[in-house]
């Protein structure tokens, strides 16, 4: 029996293998990593020491860009060959399509957007946000097979060392019913990604205009981190392409500075794994202060520039 781990982002294998270890402890078996696409084949070295017993690399030409029908075939082959019972993937738009296809093919229980996962006496129990984050659903997988899509940041990345056996595979895609005719990659913002950053500077509606996000960006750059916002700034004002929180990106930095953020549960659910939280808010009653390790009651337009100036001086020596 095997536990198969597939991620469409190479940096998330470390988190997924932590979930895989949980399954191995509970059910036994071996943990196999799956990499699909020639574009990723050279990145296999980056994950070879995470603790997989094997890494399967499917690198046929038709797999170079995401095609759910072709990827499904690779997954199906891997599952059949290695008697896979549990498939763990990162929760992403592409994987949601893929997971639905594969779960129906192998008759497995499927849970997407997993924000908490536990094994209770052999039962697989997961929590996931529903109704756009208004509520949490607790679900149990019935049957002996599961496909689980885990949100980034839910598990800590854990490398166990060791060297995986790398197995190269090609597959015949001549019977594939869906052909990819054009692939236009999305423009990505430069800088450190929110879910990978050790330091995150978050801004909320206390920020009055888009240009003032520069303060967050400057502080993030000084501290070698990323910047992010609450949902209204991204979804309502369009100032950023993503937001921090239960319906956005979950973060787990060593330091999170929340400036002008009230601390609503939908936001704090996505920051609860942060090691140290510093809140800057002019309202001493703001709920974020109950959540924070350190609080500054004050105007972010005074506090942030002073903090930036001070840190710059420290950096300059
Ligand atoms: C279905 C659903 C899903 C959601 N998912 C998310 C999510 O994933 N992430 C998320 O963030 N939100 C989410 N929300 C929105 C969430 O409920 C809150 O509305 C949002 O988090 C509030 O953002 P905020 O803290 O920036 O704004 P506000 O709640 O308006 O707070 C602004 C804060 O800034 C302070 N402030 C104002 N001026 C200053 C100043 N000059 N200096 C210092 N402090 C100042 C105020 O005192 C206030 O506390 C969701 C909502 C719904 C309905």
How many residues are there in the chain? 317
Among protein residues, the one whose CA lies closest to atom 4 of ligand 1: 266
Q: Are 75 and 56 in contact (CB under 8 A)?
A: no
Q: For residues 197 and 175, what is the distance between their CA atoms, to the nearest angstrom?
A: 42
Q: For residues 168 and 179, what is the distance between their CA atoms, to the nearest angstrom?
A: 23
Q: Which two tokens stand for residue 289?
A: 């202060």
- Determine the pLDDT at residue 133: 66
The Cα-based distances of 76 to 85, 141, 179 in angstroms read 12, 20, 18
Look up the CATH number of the domain holding residue 87: 3.40.50.620
116-120 and 123-130 beta bridge pairing: antiparallel
Give the range of the structural domain holding residue 15, as residue numbers without chain letter.
2-169
Residues 164, 199: one domain? no
Give kind and range of the element (H or E) at residue 288: helix 288-291
Separation of 228 CA from ligand 1 center, angstroms?
12
Residues 51, 198: one domain? no
Ligand 1 proximity of 115 Cβ (cutoff 6 Å): no
Q: Is residue 180 part of a domain?
A: no
**Residue of 115, 153, 261 to mutate, ligand 1, most atoms within 8 A of C-beta:** 261
> Where among 169, 186, 221 does a domain terminate?
169
Ligand 1 proximity of 267 Cβ (cutoff 6 Å): yes
Separation of 266 CA from ligand 1 center, angstroms?
9
- Determine the pLDDT at residue 280: 98
Q: For residues 200 and 45, what is the distance between their CA atoms, to the nearest angstrom?
A: 28
Residues 20, 130: one domain? yes
Residues 94, 137: one domain? yes
Residues 43, 91: one domain? yes
Q: Are 1 and 85 in contact (CB under 8 A)?
A: yes
Q: For residues 124 and 140, what is the distance between their CA atoms, to the nearest angstrom?
A: 6
User: DSSP H helical segments within 170-275, as ranges?
Assistant: 213-222, 231, 265-268
Residues 46, 161: one domain? yes
- Determine the pLDDT at residue 93: 87
Q: Quick count: other Cβ atoms within 10 Å of Cβ 32? A: 24
Q: For residues 47 and 38, what is the distance between their CA atoms, to the nearest angstrom?
A: 15
Ligand 1 proximity of 50 Cβ (cutoff 6 Å): no
Neighbouring residues of 129: CB distance < 8 A, sequence distance ≥ 6: 113, 115, 135, 136, 137, 246, 247, 269
Q: Is residue 82 part of a domain?
A: yes
Residues 152, 204: one domain? no
Give burial (CB, 10 Å; 0-12/13-18/19+) of 208: exposed
Q: Is residue 286 part of a domain?
A: yes
- Determine the pLDDT at residue 102: 97
How many separate domains does the chain show? Answer: 2
Separation of 92 CA from ligand 1 center, angstroms?
25
Residues 211, 119: one domain? no
Residues 7, 149: one domain? yes
Residue 210 phi/psi, 5-degree rounding, is -55, -40
Q: Are 105 and 72 in contact (CB under 8 A)?
A: yes
Residues 44, 137: one domain? yes
Instruction: Provide the sign of the torsion angle of the four alpha carbons 273, 277, 282, 287, taken in this order.
Output: positive
Q: Is residue 182 part of a domain?
A: no
Separation of 216 CA from ligand 1 center, angstroms?
16
Look up the CATH number of the domain holding residue 212: 3.40.50.1220
Give kind and range of the element (H or E) at residue 85: strand 84-90
Rg (CA), the chain: 21
Ligand 1 proximity of 281 Cβ (cutoff 6 Å): yes
Residues 203, 89: one domain? no
Q: Is residue 137 part of a domain?
A: yes
Q: For residues 84 and 33, what is the distance between their CA atoms, to the nearest angstrom?
A: 11
For the chain, 317 residues long, the average pLDDT of each consecutive 10-residue run is 94 94 96 86 83 93 90 96 97 94 97 94 92 83 96 84 89 87 71 88 98 97 96 96 88 96 93 94 98 97 97 89
- Determine the pLDDT at residue 37: 85
**Residue of 232, 235, 304 to mutate, ligand 1, most atoms within 8 A of C-beta:** 232
Q: Is residue 217 part of a domain?
A: yes
Q: Is residue 294 part of a domain?
A: yes
Q: Is residue 105 part of a domain?
A: yes
Ligand 1 proximity of 231 Cβ (cutoff 6 Å): yes
Ligand 1 proximity of 59 Cβ (cutoff 6 Å): no
Specify which residues 34 forms β-bridges with.
Answer: 6, 56
Residues 238, 98: one domain? no
Ligand 1 proximity of 297 Cβ (cutoff 6 Å): no
């Amino acid at each position: 029996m095997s536990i198969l781990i597939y991620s469409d982002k190479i940096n998330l294998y470390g988190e997924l293998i932590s979930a895989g270890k949980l399954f191995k402890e509970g059910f036994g078996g071996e943990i196999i990593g799956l990499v699909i696409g020639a574009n990723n084949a050279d990145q296999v070295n980056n994950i070879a020491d995470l603790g997989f017993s094997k890494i399967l690399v499917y690198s046929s030409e038709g797999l170079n860009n995401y095609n759910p029908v072709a990827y499904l075939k690779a997954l199906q082959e891997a599952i059949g060959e290695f008697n896979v019972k549990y498939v763990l993937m990162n929760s992403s738009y592409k994987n949601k399509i893929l997971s639905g296809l594969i779960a129906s093919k192998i008759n497995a229980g499927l849970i997407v957007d997993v924000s908490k996962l536990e094994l209770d006496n052999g039962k697989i129990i997961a929590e996931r946000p529903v109704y756009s984050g208004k509520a949490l659903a607790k679900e149990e997988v019935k049957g002996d097979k599961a496909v689980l899509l885990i949100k980034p940041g839910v598990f800590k990345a854990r490398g166990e060392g060791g060297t995986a056996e790398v197995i190269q595979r090609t597959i015949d895609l001549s019977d594939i019913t869906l052909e990819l005719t054009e692939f236009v990659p999305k423009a990505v913002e430069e800088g450190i990604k929110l879910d990978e950053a050790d330091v995150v500077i978050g801004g909320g509606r206390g920020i009055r205009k888009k240009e003032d996000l520069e303060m967050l960006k400057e502080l993030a750059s000084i501290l070698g981190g990323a910047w992010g916002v609450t949902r209204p700034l991204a979804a309502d004002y369009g100032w950023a392409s993503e937001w921090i929180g239960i319906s956005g990106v979950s973060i787990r930095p060593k330091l999170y500075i929340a400036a002008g953020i009230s601390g609503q549960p939908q936001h704090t659910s996505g920051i609860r794994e942060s090691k140290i939280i510093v809140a800057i808010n002019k309202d001493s009653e703001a709920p974020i202060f109950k959540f924070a390790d350190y609080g500054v009651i004050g105007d972010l337009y005074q506090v942030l520039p002073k903090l930036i100036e001070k840190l710059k001086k420290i950096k300059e020596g």
